[in-house]
Chain A
Amino acid sequence: MKTLWLIVGICFLITSCQKGPKEIMYGHENCEFCSMTIMDDKHAAQIVTNTGKVYVYDSIECMLRSLEFYGENADQIVVMDFNNPGSYLNASEATYLIAPRLPSPMGANLSAFATGEDALNVGFDGTLYTWETIRKHIK
């Protein structure tokens, strides 16, 4: 029994020390940049800083706009995969689609996909961007 508690305790210690994106409580947390309640599990994004602080965003455009403040200290930046709500993509590896018919929470009509092919297959006309180009496009 003692060992069990020890293992549980260690597990807690390890998990609490891990640095990474967190689970967003939809409907209860506000976007760091625009203060809107986060509701959309297809467009959320997060920035994890070097110190492990996690900033959550309701949309990729809000995350991009706040890179100005937190970008330098960012350890990880993740964006939600539009096709797999709940699973994050590394922001620098994702492909971005701006499609006027595919709205996102803050009006940029911007979604992220694992590959360019996924972005085209979703069936909305638009423009594709990489991490480098989208950062220049929205800031």
Chain B
Amino acid sequence: MTIFITSLCVQAQITVCTTCTISSIQQGIDLATAYDTVFVEEGVYFEYNIAIGKPLTILGENGAIIDGQKQGTILKVQTTNATISGLTLRHVGLSHTEEYAAVHVSNTKHFTLNRLTVEDAFFGFLIEGSSKGRITNNKLSGESEMEFYSGNGIHAWKSKELVITENEIRNLRDGIYLEFVDNSEVVNNLSENNIRYGLHFMFSNNNAYSNNTFTKNGAGVAVMFSKFIEMKDNHFLNNWGTASFGLLLKEIYDAEITGNTFDENTVAIAVEGSSRITYQHNKLSANGWGVKMSGGCYSNKFLSNAFSNNSFDVSFNSRLNDNEFTGNYWSTYSGYDLNKDGIGDVPHRPVKLFSYVVNKTPESIVLLRSFFVDLINFTENVAPVFTPVDLIDNSPLMRVPS
């Protein structure tokens, strides 16, 4: 009995190094028994399709590099309780039909990918049908020159309960892509210079992302066809381009968007057909459009947000409005506050008539600063004909809320 217990408790370590008798990682894995640690010493290992079929910890020393020689997927996790940590993975294969990745996790539970560096990725981490995974402290980057020869950094499909934190993702297609992924968290990541989106949700419900920074991506974050997504304290910066935006919401419902910062994006928040969303305490500054709504958007609430120096704070494409704007700060507000309670005494109409013209005929944007446009905006403000009469903030703040 004692022997049995000791054999359970003592986890053996197998060391792999380029000059050892065990000189390949696959060999090390094959020799290990379940719950062992395979320690990979410094050096370059030219291997791909490394299969991990039993619960193991694979731990890389500083400078341990696996080079896939562009042949295919490097590591394949096909077991529960696998931990991969400390390795550098480079030169993932490119393919037209196969989705090669640095690490491919399929149909498993309880996996950890930690402190990995992926260079020259096609896909970084590809996670399919798996749950309870932790993906933390990794650095992923690609060298994609051709748009369609780029994969996603962290790509999860039909998975749940993933925790994705403290990763840095650069130069890929989508930094993080979640399709049919539920109950997951994306926290404290940096996603920059990706060709398409920093973060992308598709058909994924009950997820939260917070404290992430999305900068200089094709566009910041796209949340599409999803419900119950919480978006908190993120930074959406510098997403410029004709088709670009900080945050795209397409057919999403029941979301909370709180405390985010949107600076210098062509469109800070582009909303299409999304309802029951609460926008609170967000700061939108120096964007082309603050909030650009189209399609049927109902029962949305905008409370205590700050709209500063945007060319258009809010644009709307319908004459009907079912959205509430209360207690926001508008830098374009020209009213006064005689009783000094910090709330403007006259209501503010955030939608300019000219934004309708620009929506119909984008080229007319060249007239933005003209006297004529100021005139029609003013006239519409005084006597609304085209803009929704009830799209109005009755208690505009005089100062940016802290």
Contacts and interface: CB of A to CB of B under 8 A. Distances in A.
B243 A26 contact: no
Contacts of B195: 27, 39
Interface in B147-196: 147-148, 150, 157, 173, 179-180, 195-196
A37 interface: yes
B224 interface: yes
B148 A28 contact: no
A29 interface: yes
A41 interface: yes
A30 B150 contact: no
A102 interface: yes
Contacts of A37: 196-197, 218-219, 243
Interface centre among A30, A37, A106 (most CB of B within 10 A): A37
Given A27-B195, A27-B218, A107-B179, A39 B243 contact: no
Contacts, number: 49
A26 B147 contact: yes
Interface of A: 26-30, 34-37, 39-42, 85, 102-103, 106-107, 122-123
Contacts of A107: 179-180, 202-203
Interface string B192-209: 000111000011000000
Nearest to B150: A39
Chain B contact-residue range equals 20 to 34
A73 to B, nearest CB: 19
B109 interface: no
Interface string B228-258: 0000000000000111000010100000000
A107 B224 CA distance: 12
30 contacts: A26-B147, A26-B148, A28-B241, A28-B242, A29-B243, A34-B224, A35-B248, A35-B250, A35-B270, A36-B222, A36-B224, A37-B196, A37-B218, A37-B219, A37-B243, A39-B147, A39-B195, A40-B148, A41-B147, A41-B148, A85-B96, A85-B148, A102-B97, A103-B157, A106-B202, A107-B179, A107-B180, A107-B202, A107-B203, A122-B97
Contacts of B222: 35-36
B272 interface: yes
Contacts of A36: 196, 222, 224
Nearest to A37: B196
Nearest to A122: B97
Contact of A30 (B147, B224, B243): B243
Given A27-B196, A39-B196, A34 B147 contact: no
A44 to B, nearest CB: 10
Given A28-B242, A36-B224, A37-B197, A42 B203 contact: no
